[in-house]
Structure 1
Amino acid sequence: MSDTSPTDPVAKAFEAQRDRLRAVAYRMLGSHADAEDVVQEAWLRLSRQDAATIHNLAGWLTTVVGRISLDVLRSRQAHPETSYDDPQLVVTVDDGPAPEDDVALADSVGLALLVVIESLGPSERLAFVLHDLFAVPFEEIGQILGKSANAAKMLASRARRKVQATDRQTAAGREQRKVVDAFLAAARHGDFEGLLRVLDPEVKLTIDTPDGRVVILGATEVAAGSRLGAGGAGGVRKVLVNGLPGIISWREDGTPLAILAFTVVDDRIAGIMAVADPVKLASMDLPAPE
């Protein structure tokens, strides 16, 4: 909730920027709640500033929001167990026909960009989001990062290549699904070597459980957990989760057990996002078991 006053000219100028600032923070952080907190913190900083010294309010606010978001990203990197709140998950049946005709799936593909951006380092992420999505000049991005404009440009270019590579992988849906199917088959049969073959060495598994978020890093750890957690499902259905190949598993009684979404890059699984919290699962609009 904003504490700004509608009669204050500085507050009115800030309110005119609020939606854009919220969009910047959300693209950076992938969480509406965190984006709201960042925008509110930007307002507090503005309220303590002599507005007469700010010659370009929009640019000043973008810089502040960028710096606060960068601090949040670096904190997450240092403490992965306190990572971002998930964006809304859009789950659709993966039956194979022209997904571009499905409006819900089109929305989910847009959300998938957040998953891709989340794989970038904090500096890459800031440079890519601010420049490519919001046209902020590299000079300003460099100031936020404490780097030169050329260094900021290189960071954005590197991030862009990663995003484009993942986009190409996303387009190759059948190939991605083959990798995911190989992972699931190996997990089902307790094939540790088979799991390692399809997992990126630096794979990141994020699981939402009733007790909070668990983050597991590295192919060996993820493979070990996948073997142990392969049982217990009464049925499985292939789905797309935010445009990524995934599955829903159900218990024997028909209640959802878990949702998994897989990020596949260069024929290996680079990320797995899992929801195993019954409260979250119950609140979601999920396809029925087959």
Structure 2
Amino acid sequence: MTATPPGPVTEAFEAQRDRLRTVAYRILGSHADAEDVVQEAWMRLARQDRATIDNLAGWLTTVVGRISFDLLRSRTARPEAAYGQQRADLVETPTDDPAPDEQAVLADSVGLALLVVLDSLTPSERLAFVLHDMFAVPFGDIGQVLGKSADAAKMIASRARRKVRTADRSEGLGRDHRQVVEAFRAAALGGDFDALLRVLDPNVKLTVDTPAGVVVTLGATKVAARARMFSGEAAHHRPVLINGVPGRMAWRPDGTPLAAIAFTVARGRITDIHIVIDPAKLVSLQRRDPA
């Protein structure tokens, strides 16, 4: 990351950096993208006449929101560009009740789980929901980012809020999700093709991160065929939460991660399976339970 030169403007910006990084991450769901957005915000601030900024925190939040919004729209226009970005920042949490010192990790995992729900929103909805409901940005400022009135921004945020609440009630990340994942595992282990089709959404997407790149398979029939190929390895995984959603992990004898599998479930069927076997993306995961 480019070093920020010293000075009063730098000090003012650095005081805001962590908050801006959090804003960008909640909008984009990627730590790497969030870092890029914050750095771009700094460069824009460096070119800006400080005398024209009445509220630095508000100005920076608006700039970060605008840059993030443009990036979200770019992803929507070119969805294939997002394949390698999805859940690139892995956080693994055991499914057992956490010990007191693990509460903070689980809380972060729950926050990451919300990103799965946010993925179902349009870029405008996601931006309005995150900025207003999570960071209390006024609708007037959100409207400036969206190119709409404050009332229109308020309506967009309200629509996003309803979607999030509906998803939380009907597609919450709880026991039903785990049961669907376990049904998938049992079908894969038993080589039961028909059972796999029953638990997979017709438009399910399988994304596999390998050292050679990302491989994407679309459709229940093709994904079911691939799942049967992985049935042997499935026996050695144990249940965890991957970024707050049900998944499974496998480790080598020395405790280094071998594979991570995350499942997204909607309306009782698996809509997305993300398998990571690329060591570079697994490096942040540590074995918590040697059993």
TM-score by length of structure 2 reads 0.82
The residue aligned with 2:112 is: 111
> What is the alpha-carbon distance in structure 2 between the residues aligned to residue 285 and residue 71 of structure 1?
35
More displaced 10-residue stretch of structure 1: 175-184 or 105-114 = 105-114
Match of residue 201 from structure 2: 200
Q: Is the 8 A contact 1:138 1:149 kept in 2?
A: yes
Provide the secondary structure at the position in 2 that maps to 1:235: coil
Structure 2 residue identity aligned to 1:159: A
Question: Displacement of 1:3 after TM fit?
Answer: 4.2
SS at match of 1:246: strand
CA drift of 1:170 comes to 6.9
What residue in structure 1 maps to residue 230 of structure 2?
A: 229
**Match of residue 6 from structure 2:** 6
Counterpart position of 1:285:
286
Q: Percent identity?
A: 64
How big is the alpha-carbon RMSD for the aligned residues of Structure 1 and Structure 2? 3.1
Query: Retained in 2: the 8 A contact 1:235–1:251?
Result: no
Off by >6 Å, runs of 4+ in structure 1: 251-255
Structure 1 residue identity aligned to 2:23? V
Structure 1: segments with no counterpart, 5+ residues: none
The equivalent of 1:15 in structure 2 is 14
Name the CA distance, whole Å, in 2 between partners of 1:85 and 1:171: 18
Matched, 1:26 2:21: no
In the TM superposition, what is the alpha-carbon distance from 1:169 to its structure 2 partner?
Answer: 5.5
| Distance of 1:40 and 1:283 partners within structure 2 | 23
Residues 104-155 of structure 1: CA deviation (Å, up to 9, x unaligned): 4344223322333234332221111111111112222222122333433333
Alignment partners' CA distance in 2, 1:151 and 1:30: 25
Contact 2:261 2:276 in 1 (8 A): yes
Per the alignment, residue 148 of structure 1 pairs with 149
Q: Aligned pairs, how many?
A: 286
Greater shift, 52-61 or 163-172, is seen at 163-172
Q: Give the conservation status (yes or no) of the 8 Å contact 2:26–2:115.
A: yes
Match of residue 89 from structure 1 = 91
**1:244-283 pair list within 5 angstroms:** 244-249=245-250, 257-281=258-282, 283=284
CA distance in 2, matches of 1:261, 1:156: 29
What amino acid sits opposite 1:39 in the alignment? V
In terms of mean alpha carbon deviation, does 36-45 or 9-18 score higher? Answer: 9-18
Give the Å deviation of 1:238. 1.9
Is the alpha carbon distance of 1:272 and 1:164 closer, same or farther for their aligned partners in structure 2, counting shifts above 3 Å?
farther
How many angstroms does 1:218 deviate by? 4.3
TM-score of the aligned structures, taking structure 1 as reference length: 0.82
